[in-house]
Structures are given as C-alpha cells and as structure tokens.
Structure 1
C-alpha cells in the first residue's frame, strides 16, 4: 500500500491513504507512539482511524471488527477529503472493507477498483474456518455485492481470473490481471549483510527462512515435522519470523519434539526485512493443501528480489508452482506430500553450488515481470480508462 501510494504520488497523482490506527506488527520505536487522525506525509494525505481489535482475537470478534470497519472509516473520509475523488482502490480481504469502496463511489462519483488478494469467503470455507451455513451465505452475498459494485476487479494471476470467471460469472471485461509487485531496489541496495545471522546466533548455519503470518492457512506444522526428521544435521536451521494464531501451537510442538533447529522470532520492520532475507540461504513458502484457490504468496517475490532460491510447499491449485518453475528459482511440491517436501529440503541443501544460479534466475524473472514500476504503470492505465 505504501509503495503504491508513493509511486502514484511521484507520478503526479494526489493520493490519500485510509488505514486503521497502527497497532500490530510495529517496530519498537512505534510502540506507544500517538498519531494525528489526519497527517500529510511527504505529499500523501494519511487518515488513521481507530477500529475494533482484529488481530489475535476470536473469529467472532474479528468478524465484528471487519464488518464495522467501513462504517467507521467512511465518516472520517467525508470529514477529511473535500476534493473530487477520481478513483478508490479497496483491498479484499477483508471482504467487508469493500463496502467503503461502494460508499466512496456513491458519495464522490469515483471509479471503484477492487483488488482481490485472496478469494474470500472461499478460502475460509476451504480451511474450515467458516462452517455455519448462514454465515457462509451472508459473506457470499457480500462478495457478490462487492463484485457488482466494483467498476474494475484486479487479481494477481491468470488462474485467479479464471477462477472468478468460472465460479462467480463476472463479466470478462471487468476482471484484469494486475500482478503484485516488489521494489527490487530495496533488496539489491542492502547494507549490513550478516547482521541478522549474528543477531540470532546463526553465523555458520544453513538457514531456511519463513517470514510472514503464522496461521492455519500456512500449515507450518509441516516445517516443524521436516525439522524433526533432519534434526541430526546440525548445519540446517529453520528460521520462522512472524506471528499469528498458530504460533503458540508451533512453539509447543518444538518443545515437545525438543527441537534445536527451529527458531521463531517476531516480525521485523519493512525497512529491515530485505536485510533479513539477504542473510539466509533459502526462502521457504508454505500453504495448506486445504486452500483451493490459485493464490500466489507474495513473499515469493521478495525472495526472488533478494536473489535467494525458493522451496515452496503449496496447494496444488496455487499459481506459485508455475511461477517458480518458469523462473527457474527453486522447487515446489504439493504441501500434503510430506515425504517429497522433506526430500526437497535435503535436495536443495546438497545443491550449494547451484544456489547462486537459482537466485540470479529469480532476480532476472522478477525484474522482468514484477518490478514495481511495471506493475504501477499497469494500475495507472486502469485508473485512466
């Protein structure tokens, strides 16, 4: 979001960002910091609004928070934005946030662009998070309304587009593939190499990194079980950086198995993240096979930009398989094939002489197709047509 706003500003657009008050995944220097509701930050109008808790809470509380979000944000938009609004870009999930796109469209006559990152509620149904028939029907109604009210819908891969065309009967001219992007310069212009290895006491280890949300969708128990199988190799370490609903359960698994080769650390800042990724040997990606949509985890792009090889355990429908294969930047396997997943870890560990080439392949591919400038130009074209 920040990268998109800054790039659009740099291209001469007047940009406003509306977001919840920062409370989660923040750095130590942000703890306890107060913010004005409206600020101008380097030419971008930022509206920060306090909403109900939505992290590390029950699904019911999270649902209430998300359902009320648009109705808390929209009055603040009306209060602070008096100019003509040409377009609004709303992200889903959370699906209820799409209501703010509908409201801004009606109030300001703005074009409503809906950016779909995960297809909800289908992904929650697949994972067994939502089971109640009434709740499912309600969210499917909300989903249909969002698709109907959006002027343009963007998805991040061709198979996501195909999924919506086949399953949701959306007019083909309404859906556009807009790849997620990465700012490659953030990964190539990195100073302080080795700082995270030293900080975590892993200077001489072969590190597999997973960085991101630790939730049911990620199925990181697979990584714990692989770590259990390879624990006799003292050279290999699995570094999990992040937080989420499944973290406590994984910690208990690590303790029960008495594993010394799995380390869990908290999120690092956006500014520090490229340093972290450049400090490891292999980037790990993990998604549960219960997922049935063609999602591409965005962390793949960061790993490619950092020029590190990738090992991915994904649902069979994920477009991540073809992305990794086409780029020649590593390996992927369906995540419920546990033996094959473990074999990939051993395979890439033994291919130390090939790791640099895998990394270079990934960097070349992401520079060609997923560079921030290329993707924002495609977005800008949608905004103008």
Structure 2
C-alpha cells in the first residue's frame, strides 16, 4: 500500500452473494480496496438478482450489518416485485433510494463521514441521493455507471415515462459527480455527450474472473449433464428482456438438423418461464439453472461457442459483465450487435457479430464457426489475448485505487468553500 488509507463509502443496490451482474463487480471492488488497506463501507440492498426473489438467508424487515472479507456491509430491506417491469420496478429502486437516504443521514448524524463516496448506477435515484450526501458532508462523489437504465427501459418498452423530460433530467443529475466512470469507451462517450466534463470521465471496466481460463480437457459439466453432442452453443447469465434470448431458440430451430450441436442455456431471470415455453419441443435445447460461481470456469469451458444476444439499441447502453469471462475462457463468441457499436468493437476478432433480431444470420454465424476450424482457432486466440490485455482484474483495480487517491488529493487541495458540487436541484431545472 502506497500512501495513507482512505475511508471509502460505496452505495450500490447490488452486492455479493448475487452471482452475476453488478453485484460481484461491486463486491470485488470493495474487497480489493479493503485488502489494500482502506476502510471500506458498503450500503446495499438484500440480494435478489437475477431471480428477483430475496435470498432466504437475507430475508427480514430490518437492516442487517455484517463484516464480509474486510468490508463493513449494511444491507437494507427491499420491496422486490415479482415481475420487474414498469412501475413495480421503479418502486423497487425508489425503495432503495429512500432507505439509503435514511442510512446516509445516520452517517452524518454520527459524524462518520467518509473521505470519498462511490455511487453505483443503476439506480440513478440512489446516485442522486449520494450526491446530496456528498454536498451535505462536503465530500467528493464518484458516480460509476454500469448501465443506462432509462435508455434501456425505453429500448425494451418497460417504462412508459422513460422518455419524459423530467425523468431524463433526473437521470442526467444521477450521472454527475466529481468523477464519473463507466465500463466501456462507448459508454464513457455517452457520459460526455450528456454534459459531463471529459476531464472528469474515467473508464473503469469490469474484469474477467482470474479463476476462468481455457480448459484443456472436457468440462466436468458434460458428464454431470450427460451431454454427448460434440459441439455446445452456450448462453449463461441473466434471462431478461434486454438480452433478447428468444433468438437462441429461433437459431436452435433453424439448426435442428445438426445432430452434432446442442444449445445449452444456464441462467435465471424474469423471462425464463417464457423461454422454457418457447423451447418446448426443441430436442437440441437444454435449460439449466444458474450455476454456482465456483463452477464458472467449468461451465464456460463447456462451450464450443458462446452466445451473446442483445436487443437492438442495447449495444452501447450496457456492456454485458459476462463478456470478459467469455473471452477469458478462450472460446469464440457469436453476438447480436451492429457494426460500429461498442459491443462489436469489444468482441473484435474474438468472435462474430450479427444484426440484432436476425435469427438467420445468428444461426449462420454459429454454423460458420462450427465448420471452419481455422477461423474458430483464430477467434479463440484473439479472445484469450483480449481478455489478458483489456480485462485484467489486478490492473483494473490498481488503476481504480490510483484514481481514488488522485481524487482525494485534488479534493484536499481545494479551498474549503469549493469542496462540493452544486447542490442537485432534483431535475426540476436542467443543470
């Protein structure tokens, strides 16, 4: 550890033990900072993703404190809708934001102000709360945007007022901070386009799990699941509207005549029941539940080809957290992403991209990789190289710590009267 330790407060809806998505990323960040000697506090919700059901081990109506891997964690009780769409989903985020506001008021009253606040979006409601706290506590706020939730809600038709001017202004407020970061160059460009000073915008990626590496022998999942087909097209992760996963079932039907290919889907989420209905009668499709994190390497090593569907318009709104691990497994990817989008650029030579919603092109790309061994080998090599050069956990987290120290030093160098952003005006006026 270089320099003095910092007191860092992280406010984020999702946290471990959620197995996929934002939770493992926030937990990995918090634990790495604690391991580097910093005092790290986390305010989060009860684990409920991706099943949208509160983990039975964490149910209750009272906040719960714990010490986890050197991190002080405060879990807030949540309203979790059975169907996470529209107003119930908005109420879910509002519930967390209000309870987080109460928790932060307690931090102020107890005079336990941190050196830096890191707020994770989504939800922009809670990042606005973090900004208000930073203003009141006179502390710098780092806003980290994992996805653009209103844009995604608009793209998927999940919230009818997502395009309302007031909602857009609120989201802009939730994307401002003394530092603002996101997980890909395209998403950072979007932050700049929304009015952020480019000097404040940082690229802070998610990372590949260090335990994931190319398997040199058959995955144990083959024997456990009694899979005999030589080739596997694998999707693993959240099963929700933004993934556009029905295209996998369409491709499976188009390639049903291939007896050497099995489509395997492992995951959970609000669209799983619909997906199972669509797959009924498809003998070349098997669906399993989300697998434990300890089995991630074996699961990803099962793939001959990874599948990464996304709906049209989503490619620059979120960079799937599963992508780094797909690349690290050394298997090629077939993704639905238009050329020129951030997702297509990130995959690069590590796979093939096809237009969103074009099942024929998606199926053709899968078949091309299966039948062209030299192309598949070239994609595998490119995937491994990209994972090593762009998605190293140690390098990414070292950069984060350096930027946090720089922000803290810049903040302390300011005159006391300048140590805050303008107070958020809650979207009633554009900033």
Q: Same fold judged by TM-score > 0.5? A: yes
Deviations 1:325-344 (A, max 9, x none): 2xx22111222333322210
Shift of 1:4: 1.0
Residue of 191, 196, 206 corresponding to 1:170 = 196
Aligned mates of 1:236, 1:189 — CA distance in 2: 20
Deviation by residue 1:57-80 (Cα, 9 ceiling, x = unmatched): 442211111012122123335557
Give the counterpart of 1:336 among 324, 335, 357: 357
Deviation at 1:33, TM superposition (A): 5.9
Aligned to 1:264, what secondary structure does the other structure show? strand
Q: How does 1:314-329 map to 2 (within 5 A)?
A: 314-316=337-339, 318-325=341-348, 328-329=349-350
Deviations 1:295-314 (A, max 9, x none): 32221111111111111112
Q: Secondary structure at the match of 2:43?
A: strand
Matched-pair contact (CA < 8 Å) for 1:86–1:109: no
- Cα gap change, 1:55 to 1:17, in 2 (>3 Å): farther
What is the aligned residue count?
374
**Alignment correspondent of 1:206:** 231
* 1:114 corresponds to 2:143: yes
- Deviation at residue 163 of structure 1 after TM alignment: 2.5
Aligned-partner Cα distance in 1 for 2:184–2:315: 15
Q: Where do 1:176-195 residues align within 5 Å?
A: 176-183=202-209, 185-188=210-213, 194-195=219-220
Q: Which structure 2 residues correspond to residues 135-150 of structure 1 after superposition, within 5 A? A: 136-148=164-176, 150=177
SS across alignment from 1:62:
helix
Q: Secondary structure at the match of 1:197?
A: helix
SS of 1:227 mapped into structure 2:
helix
Structure-1-length-normalised TM-score? 0.88
**CA pair 360-90 structure 1, distance change in 2 beyond 3 A:** same
Structure 2 counterpart of 1:155, from 176, 182, 194: 182
Cα distance in structure 2, aligned partners of 1:271 and 1:292: 29
Distance apart, 1:225 and its partner CA: 0.7
What residue is the counterpart of 1:96 in the other structure? 125
Residue 5 and residue 164 in structure 1: after superposition, are their counterparts in 2 closer, same or farther (change >3 A)? closer
C-alpha distance in 2 between matches for 1:64 and 1:337: 34
What corresponds to 2:420 in structure 1? none
The equivalent of 2:382 in structure 1 is 361
What CA distance in whole angstroms lies between the structure 2 residues aligned with 1:146 and 1:56?
25
Q: Structure 1 residues 202, 218: CA separation in 2 closer, same or farther (over 3 Å shift)? A: same
Contact 1:287 1:315 in 2 (8 A): no
Once residues 138 and 201 of structure 2 are traced to their aligned partners in structure 1, the CA distance between those partners, rounded to angstroms, is 20
2:339 paired with 1:287: no
Q: Which residue of 2 aligns with 1:245?
A: 270
Between the aligned partners of 1:276 and 1:137, the Cα distance in structure 2 is: 44
TM-score under structure 2 normalisation?
Answer: 0.79
Q: Write the distance in 2 (CA, Å) between the matches of 1:191 and 1:225.
A: 31
Contiguous gaps of at least 5 residues in structure 2 = 1-25, 407-431
The 8 Å contact of residues 120 and 145 in structure 2, kept in 1 or not, is answered as: yes
Unpaired runs of at least 5, structure 1: none
The equivalent of 2:90 in structure 1 is 63
CA gap 1:197/1:78 in 2 versus in 1, 3 angstroms: farther
Match of 2:21 in 1: none
Say what the alpha-carbon RMSD is for the aligned residues: 2.6
Flag the structure with more relative contact order, 1 or 2, with Cα contacts below 8 A and sequence separation at least 6.
2
